[in-house]
Structure formats: structure tokens, C-alpha cells
Chain A
Amino acid sequence: MRLLTKYIFRRTLQAIPLLFIISIISFLLMTLAPGDPTAMYQNPEAGNEQDFTAIKEQLGVDQPIYIQYYKWLKLLVLEGNLGYSFQDGQPVMDKIVSRIPATLTLMGTAMFIAILLAIPIGVYSAVKKYSPIDYIFTFNSFLGIAVPSFFIALVVILVFSLKLEWFPASGLRSNFDTFDLKDRLHHLVLPSLTLAFGLVASMSRFMRSSMLEVIKQDFVRTARAKGLTERVVIYKHALRNALIPIITILALQLPALFGGTLFIEQLFAWPGMGRLSVSAIFIRDYQVIMGTTMIAAVMVVASNLIADILYALVDPRIQLGKN
């Protein structure tokens, strides 16, 4: 256990330069691109040059980029403060923290559904390679990769919400008085299934190829030569080995999943981080965009760490901290 703590500590230290680079890239992109965060205050009819200068000064965007960045970084390092929203002056951290549970619920559920479906699909496709059902699954996953997530969302809303009226199409809940689990789950169904759709498609492909790789290994032949049933050979001997690379792939999918969440939250009016950043983008609220990007990056980095720890747990050949 002490080894684990040490490992986590070391990995966290290693993540700092990475996050540093990420912050620089994001900051540069935002500030170098032409555009003006004071635009939202501009009203061609009223107001004059003077006012904007004052606002710019107040927001600090009149200063050179490196000073802006230095200030931003100093505030973050010394106080753990991600700055204040240009829009309403609220601390960015507070805004994000209030949105994280919704996003995590959505992403977690989608991932859970995806794993639950993709593993058996992938295993079946690999074991019954080139069977009609494998072709059906293969075609479906190609389809899942080809359909834009917003399009799926539209179809799903159209069919299951507007036409059939089975599930609500927007928001986190209808019951605002108390915590109503049934109500919450009812709202969660469509957005999480939509988000899971693309994920199932790509994960089941990975699972299939990982499984195909494993079932031609020598130890699978050994297992068969022992007289084990095909079930035991596949689900005990092959599956556990095939799952090992999937852990990494799951972690690698996370940034893409964040991208998908952005649309899903937008279309299903799901009050999460994605929706927060999309609205921040439209009003050029740099501080909020910067904050959500950094938090998302931290989540990605953290999930990579978790993936590596899980990796070491399933694969006895891997020891934490050794290559």
C-alpha cells in the first residue's frame, strides 16, 4: 500500500509539467486568436472607446499575454483559484464545481453502459469471427462511428421524447423539491444512452481485435489441451488477458468522450461542464473556458493514472513504478 501511495505521488508530480504545457497551449490559443472578450459589452449605439478601455483594464486583458498568463498561474498556484468569470465575476472554480456532478453522472453512466455492452459484443464477434452476427455487430459499430453524436441525439429526442413521449428530453430533473431518484434516472436515460452509442461502437471494435489477438496465443491452446470447455477457455483464460489493453483504451477515449459530452449536454440541456463551456465560448469568457479546459485535462490525467493502477492490478507482469 505504501508503494501505491508513493507511486501516485510520483505520478502526480510528473503530471505537473504536462498540465503546465496544456495551460500554456490553451492560454496562447485563446489570447493569440483575434477576438475580444469585451465584445459582449459592446453596443454600437451606446458606450464609447473610453468605457472599453476601462473594462479591458478591469479584466486585465489590456496587458501583454505573458503577464496575463503569469497572473493567472500565480493565482492558481498560490490560492488554487482559477480566476473570476468575465461575465458575472463569480469564481470560476465555484462555477465548475457546481457543474461537475452532473457531468460525471452523465459520463460515468455512459461509460458503464458502454462497457457492459461492448465487452460481450467484442468477445462474441471475436469468437464467432466472420459469422453473420459478427458482420451485424461490425456494421453497427461502423455506423456508430459514422453518425455524428448530435445527429443521434436529435433522432433519439425526436423518437423517444417527442413522438413516443417515453423519456424527458431536457434537464436533470423535473422534481425540484426533493431528491427523487426515479425522476433523476428517468432524465438520465436518453442523454447517457446517446453518449454511450458511439462509445460502444469503438470499444466493441477494440474488444474484438484484442480478443482476436489473445485467442491465437499459445496459452489459449494450452488451456484447450487441458480439456477445458470452450466457455472456460474463452471467459477465464482469454478474456482476462484481452481486457488488459482495453483499460488503456478506455482512458484514451476520455478526451473524445468529453467532446461528445459537450454536444449531449447542449442538446439535452444537461447542466454540466460541457454546457458551461459552450456558453462561455459564445460570450468569450476566457477565464471560464480556461478553467473548464484545465479541469477536464486534470480529469483526463487522473484517469490515465487510474488506468495504469488498474493495469498493474490485472496484469501481474506489471509492477507499479517499473517499466
Chain B
Amino acid sequence: MSTTTTKTKTDTIVSVENLKTYFYTEDGTVPAIDGVSFEVKRGETLAIVGESGSGKSVTSLSIMRLIPQPPGKIVNGDIKFNGESLLIKTEKEMRSIRGNRISMIFQEPMTSLNPVYKIGDQISESIIIHQKKSKKEALAEAINLLNLVGIPEPERRINQYPHELSGGMRQRVMIAIALACQPELLIADEPTTALDVTIQNQILQLMKTLKQKINMSIMLITHDLGVVAEMADNVVVMYAGQVVEQGDVYTIFENPKHPYTEGLLKSMPSAEKRIGKLYAIEGVVPNPLNLPSGCRFAARCEYATALCYDEMPDIQKIGNEEAVRCWKYTHRWEGK
């Protein structure tokens, strides 16, 4: 981990340290993220994997400091961007980072664009505020960006409204907006989930090419291991608000340690094992208002012992870059 505070450039772009983001609802406190740590290195693609409700989207919104407050609140931990804590920044400083140095694209291209403004206006908006360009220059830049993300006839498109574009096109527009100021980090929250398969692939390829072109890092949030295999350098697996396993993509795929990761991989459809029923992890994610005191996965885990139900395991390093939160890899393990 880099602790140097050389003005802007460090090897680690973002480091999240023991982050806890809670939601205070009428029915109780929801620990959406409960002590999450990971880092994103310059130029890498980090995938955050988990089921819905595992806290992966809250993680990304916490980095952007866009957690709706109330009911949400970052209660503990730190998020460092190029070595500087984002949590102590003023709202004004955060605005100069959002859409400029850290950008975000969302799952729903159909609803993520404002229906009543033209595409061109929506792209040029962030160019105007972050790069202090005139409206005319910004629109010219918007045309360049649309070209870059592979939208044909950009001169015509900038005068169209979102509803005139297909889902894939809209996601390209979202990417154009995100890339408008050449960010150092792009957070992509399920960018292809809502799209059909061929379009999915096109968007992923586009993100890959663009990443190289402007040398940014990508934090890719997904539940789709196919997308992970395609894109990621490193992987963080989340379950019920915690990191259960992290490591590089080869280790995770070849030699998963956590029973949950194992289950995820087994439930992935693949070309080789066409025969037989698709595997599914039994059980459901625990109610976030009423989390068990032991391992949160225990109730669904085939290896679970009394220890797993009684005590929560810590996350611990295995090897150089790998870490896992499971009793199986500790000296206290004596189970099945």
C-alpha cells in the first residue's frame, strides 16, 4: 500500500480501508458495507463480484460520496484517492473530482440519461463545468467523444433525445459522458446487465480499448463471472457487506478458496459442461437487519461447522496477493 502523498500520482489510485457504510431505516440499521478493504492500482481493472444486496453498489457510491444521507452514512474507515482521503474533502472539492477524475456509469442506460435534454447537452455539461470550456467547444468535444465510443453520425446524434436511441447506444452515450474529462478511475456499476448479449460484448470491448487509450483504471461491479473473466485483472468477492475473498483473476478462477466463490464458479454456465442441471447455491442472503453473529455464509455453506456459526472469521492473507475470510484456512479449523 502506498502512503506517500506525492500530489496526484501514486501507484494505487483508490484504497478503501475498513469501510463501513450503514443505512438507518425505520426497521433498523442495515450494515450495507461492513468493514471492506481493497485497492485499485493504476491501469488495472478490478472486478467487485457478488449477488445483489452484497454491498457492491454501495461501495462504489461511497467512493463517489453519493450515498443518500439520510438514511445512509459512512460510519467508519477511509477512502483514499491518490493518497488523499475523500471523506474529509468538502462537497465542493468532491464535485471537482466527480465526473472529472472519477467517473461512473450505471446499470440502467434506459433511465440513466435525462429524458428531457438532448444528448449533446448532457455530454457537454461536464466538459463545461470541469474544463471551463465554452458551450460551442464542449459540443465539438461531445461529437469527438461520440465518435470515440463508436456512435455513427455524431453530428446528428447530439441533437437527439435519449428516447430516440437504443439501449446499447445509450450506454455508449453514458460512457462518453463518463470519459468526457479523461478520468483516472471509471466505476462501472453493472454496465452490461441490462443489455442483450451481443451488445454486452461490444460495450465490454469498447471499455477495454478506451481504458488503454486514456490509461485509466476501471472498477467493474458485476455479478457476472463471464464479464469478470473477460475484463478483470483482480477480483474482490463480496457477500453480505463483507469481502470474503480477493486475489488476481487467475487464482480466483483456478483455485477459489472461499466456499462462496466456489459456489459462484460452479453455478457459472460454461461451454464444457453443457450436460446436467445448472448448479445453484442453496439458501438466501441473510436479512441485513438481522445478520448472524458467526460467518454470514455459514447457513448456505456445505463445510460449515459449529465454529462457523459461533464466530465470524477474519479476512487473512494467503500467499502474496490473496486473502480469504473463512475458518477453513486457519489453524482452528478441524471440520469436515
Q: Could you tell me which A residues sit within 8 Å of B by CB distance?
A: 217-219, 221-229, 237, 240-241, 244, 314-317
Q: Which of A228, A240, A314 contacts B125 (CB 8 A)?
A: A228
Residues of B within 8 A of A244 (CB): 116
- Whether the Cβ atoms of B111 and A218 lie closer than 8 Å is yes
Q: Which residues from 94 to 117 on chain B have a C-beta closer than 8 Å to any C-beta of chain A? A: 94-100, 103-104, 106, 108, 111-117
- Whether the Cβ atoms of B177 and A221 lie closer than 8 Å is no
- Whether the Cβ atoms of A227 and B95 lie closer than 8 Å is yes
A222–B61 alpha-carbon span in the complex (Å): 11
Taking A218-B111, A317-B163 as given, write out 8 further A-B residue pairs in contact, using a Cβ cutoff of 8 Å, ordered by the A residue number.
A218-B106, A218-B112, A221-B66, A221-B112, A225-B104, A226-B125, A228-B95, A316-B163
Residues of B within 8 A of A317 (CB): 115, 161, 163
Residues of B within 8 A of A241 (CB): 114-116
Residues of A within 8 A of B100 (CB): 227
A241–B161 alpha-carbon span in the complex (Å): 14
The bracket for how many chain B residues form the interface is 20 to 34
- Whether the Cβ atoms of B99 and A225 lie closer than 8 Å is yes
- Whether the Cβ atoms of A316 and B115 lie closer than 8 Å is yes
Closest partner residue, chain A, to B114 (CB atom): A219
A15 → chain B, closest Cβ, in Å? Answer: 28
Closest partner residue, chain B, to A229 (CB atom): B95
Q: Could you tell me which B residues sit within 8 Å of A by CB distance?
A: 64, 66, 94-100, 103-104, 106, 108, 111-117, 125-126, 129-130, 161, 163, 174, 177
A222–B117 alpha-carbon span in the complex (Å): 13
A317–B116 alpha-carbon span in the complex (Å): 8
Residues of B within 8 A of A224 (CB): 66, 98
| Known contacts A218-B108, A316-B161, A317-B163; A223/B114 CB under 8 A | yes
Q: Which of A223, A225, A228, A237 contacts B64 (CB 8 A)?
A: A225
Residues of B within 8 A of A237 (CB): 114, 117
Residues of B within 8 A of A218 (CB): 106, 108, 111-112
A241–B95 alpha-carbon span in the complex (Å): 23
A219–B106 alpha-carbon span in the complex (Å): 10
| Known contacts A316-B161, A317-B163; A225/B113 CB under 8 A | no
Residues of A within 8 A of B129 (CB): 226-228
A221, A229, A241, A317 — which one has the most chain B CB atoms within 10 A of its CB? A221
Residues of A within 8 A of B113 (CB): 219, 222
- Whether the Cβ atoms of A240 and B116 lie closer than 8 Å is yes
A18–B280 alpha-carbon span in the complex (Å): 58
Closest partner residue, chain B, to A241 (CB atom): B116
- Whether the Cβ atoms of A222 and B106 lie closer than 8 Å is yes
B94, B108, B116, B130 — which one has the most chain A CB atoms within 10 A of its CB? B116
Closest partner residue, chain A, to B61 (CB atom): A221
Residues of A within 8 A of B161 (CB): 316-317
Closest partner residue, chain B, to A240 (CB atom): B116
Task: Give 7 closest A-B pairs by Cβ, nearest first.
Answer: A227-B98, A226-B99, A227-B99, A218-B111, A316-B161, A219-B114, A226-B126
A244–B111 alpha-carbon span in the complex (Å): 16
A240–B115 alpha-carbon span in the complex (Å): 10
B290 → chain A, closest Cβ, in Å? Answer: 26
Residues of A within 8 A of B97 (CB): 227
